[in-house]
């Protein structure tokens, strides 16, 4: 599946263009799809930047989930949050942290892969 194909986008390309410069998103997203035998044709910096962004967003999600957990515990005594709602919110916070952890790991793996490709091709 091509993530930059018009059918894969939630918004149409024209809507995205009206919102800002989405050409860079398309360029970097294409770098995530490649044939390893054609590694010299990959924009390794774009691949690495995607990994950095993914890792950062994962860390943000982890922190957001942690803060959600703290807020739930405050809402119980201060606002009378019932047990069922608290359980649901705790589960949502845990899911946020879990998904963030996977995103952070995948981003780091992308960075590591780009760095390995760079070294294997003789770049510094």
pLDDT digits (tens, 9 = 90+) for 71-80: 999 999 999 9
Q: 115 and 68 share a domain? A: yes
Q: What is the pLDDT of residue 19?
A: 59
Q: What is the pLDDT of residue 103?
A: 94
Comparing CA positions, the residue from 123, 101, 100 lying closest to residue 42 is 123
Q: 12 and 48 share a domain? A: no
11-15, 45-49, 80-84: which has the minimum mean pLDDT?
Answer: 11-15
Q: Report yes or no on 39 lying in a domain.
A: no
Q: 116 and 55 share a domain? A: yes
Q: What is the pLDDT of residue 117?
A: 86
Q: What is the pLDDT of residue 1?
A: 47
HSE value, Cβ hemisphere, 13 Å, CA-based, for 47: 21
Range of the domain at 19: 1-33
Q: Report yes or no on 38 lying in a domain.
A: no
Q: 50 and 23 share a domain? A: no
Q: Which residues of 31-41 are buried (b: 16+ CB within 10 A; e: fewer)?
A: beeeeeeeeee
The whole-number average pLDDT for the span 74-94 is 94
Pairwise CA distance, residues 43 & 45, whole Å:
5
Mean pLDDT of the chain: 80
pLDDT digits (tens, 9 = 90+) for 33-49: 555 555 555 678 888 89
Cβ atoms of 89 and 117 closer than 8 Å = no
Q: Report yes or no on 24 lying in a domain.
A: yes
Q: What is the pLDDT of residue 112?
A: 93
Single pTM value for the model: 0.65
Q: 3 and 58 share a domain? A: no
Q: Report yes or no on 99 lying in a domain.
A: yes
Number of domains in the chain: 2
Q: 59 and 105 share a domain? A: yes
């Amino acid at each position: 599946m091509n993530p930059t194909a018009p059918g894969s986008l939630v918004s149409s390309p024209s809507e995205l263009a009206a919102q800002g410069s989405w050409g860079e998103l398309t360029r970097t997203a294409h770098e995530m799809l490649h044939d390893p035998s054609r590694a010299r044709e990959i924009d390794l910096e774009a691949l690495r930047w995607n990994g950095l962004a993914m890792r950062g967003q994962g860390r943000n999600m982890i922190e957001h989930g942690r803060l959600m957990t703290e807020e739930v515990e405050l809402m119980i005594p201060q606002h009378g949050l019932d047990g069922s709602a608290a359980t649901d919110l705790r589960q949502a916070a845990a899911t946020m942290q879990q998904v963030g952890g996977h995103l952070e790991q995948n981003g780091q793996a992308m960075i590591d892969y780009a760095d390995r490709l760079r070294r294997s091709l003789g770049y510094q």
